[in-house]
Amino acid sequence: MQLIECPWCGPREEVEFHYGGQAHVAYPEDPAALDDEQWAHYVFYRDNPKGRFAERWSHAAGCRRWFNAVRDTATYRFESVYHPDQPKPVIP
Amino acid sequence: MAEQLSRTHPLEAWLPAFAELSGAVRISAEPFVPMTVLRADPATAGDVRIRGAALPTAPGSWASAGAGWLIWLGPDEWLLTGPGAAPEALEEELRTLLRPVGGSAADVSAQRIGIRLGGPRARQVLAKGCSIDLHPRVFTPGQSAQTTLGQAGVLLLALGEDEFAVLVRSSFGGYLASWLLDASLEYAAPALTS
Ligand SMILES: [Zn+2]
């Protein structure tokens, strides 16, 4: 089974984690100003790259913290993990 | 006349089986102990002393606080056990300490029960259903882990070289007790170890 590194707890089995979708999706500055289509884009539309992807993960069965990870969607390899308040790494 | 109901331990039915185990693995149910979850920013709560102990900041560690344990749960979250205290009194004591630094305390005494595991084979028993590194050089006294044991989420504490506490949700206690007894069977049955 694959080990995922929690930024706090260290490497743990993947069953301890929950997937949270694409990272760095900012809440709209003025939600009331959005029309339905823009709101739908914010709520439902996500990137779907083949390759490196910045994602949100939660250490659900451990410290229960959210963190971000860059994962390769083709190989499942975790390239890096970082705290949620850190900027999105430059993904080559 | 109204029937008198007395409090029983959730693991009462398993106590006779625990008592039959040999010395290679010992299992016992911890008596009821009040517990409080603490939330605070470690940057502002660094000077707070909880029953003599500072809030541990190393992930996966615990410290003695009076007769109880002060356990790291997250970068801004801890669990305190307070043997002998009344749950409401413990909560109030911690609130008074943490309120000045913007922290909070909440009584969670009813959430978990404790199981004590000891003996030279205790690590092997845990390793059968726990994926963290339990090697004596890695999981040393003073360390803790929130992880899974069998199918149950647990808070695991290394108390000594071969002494562990397993804190588990009360409703999972029976399952975990059965699991631990099954895992201990090969080390604990007198006919097999002689
Ligand atoms: Zn964690």
pLDDT tens string B175-194: 999 999 999 999 876 554 44
Superfamily per CATH, domain B12-31+111-188? Probable tRNA modification gtpase trme; domain 1 (3.30.1360.120)
pLDDT tens sequence across A33-57? 999 999 999 999 999 999 999 999 9
Q: Where does the pLDDT of residue A25 fall: very low under 50, low under 70, confident under 90, or very high at 90 and above? A: very high
Question: Is residue B1 pLDDT above 90, yes or no?
Answer: no
CA A11, CA A3: separation in Å to the nearest integer?
Answer: 6
- Containing B52, the helix (H) or strand (E) segment is none
Q: Where does the pLDDT of residue B8 fall: very low under 50, low under 70, confident under 90, or very high at 90 and above? A: confident
Calculate the average pLDDT of chain B: 93
CA B59, CA B72: separation in Å to the nearest integer?
Answer: 6
Domains and CATH numbers, chain A: 3-82 (3.30.2270.10)
Question: Is residue A90 pLDDT above 80, yes or no?
Answer: yes
Q: How far is CA A60 from the centre of its chain?
A: 14
Question: Is residue B23 pLDDT above 90, yes or no?
Answer: no
Which value, in Å, is the radius of gyration of the alpha carbons in chain B? 18
| Chain B residue at shortest CA distance from A13 | B131
Q: Which of the two residues, A91 and B87, has the higher pLDDT score?
A: B87
CA B179, CA A44: separation in Å to the nearest integer?
Answer: 43
CA A53, CA B158: separation in Å to the nearest integer?
Answer: 37
- What percent of chain B has pLDDT above 90? 89
Q: Where are the domains of chain B?
A: 12-31+111-188, 33-108
Output the pLDDT for position B194. Answer: 43
pTM of the shown model: 0.91
Question: Is residue B72 pLDDT above 60, yes or no?
Answer: yes
Token pair listed for B147: 């992880």
Given B73, B75, B148, which is nearest A61 (Cβ)?
Answer: B148
Give B15→chain A minimum CA distance, Å: 28
Please return the burial class of A45, using the count of CB atoms within 10 Å of its CB with bins 0-12, 13-18 and 19+: exposed
Give A5→chain B minimum CA distance, Å: 12
Q: How far is CA A52 from CA A26, A43, A47, A55, B99, in A?
A: 20, 22, 11, 9, 44
Statement: B33-108 belongs to CATH 3.30.70.1520: yes
Q: Which residues of B touch A8 (CB under 8 A)?
A: 59, 74-75
Look up residue B179 and give its amino acid.
W
**B68: nearest Cα among B104, B109, B98, B96:** B109
CA A43, CA B106: separation in Å to the nearest integer?
Answer: 34
- Containing B44, the helix (H) or strand (E) segment is none
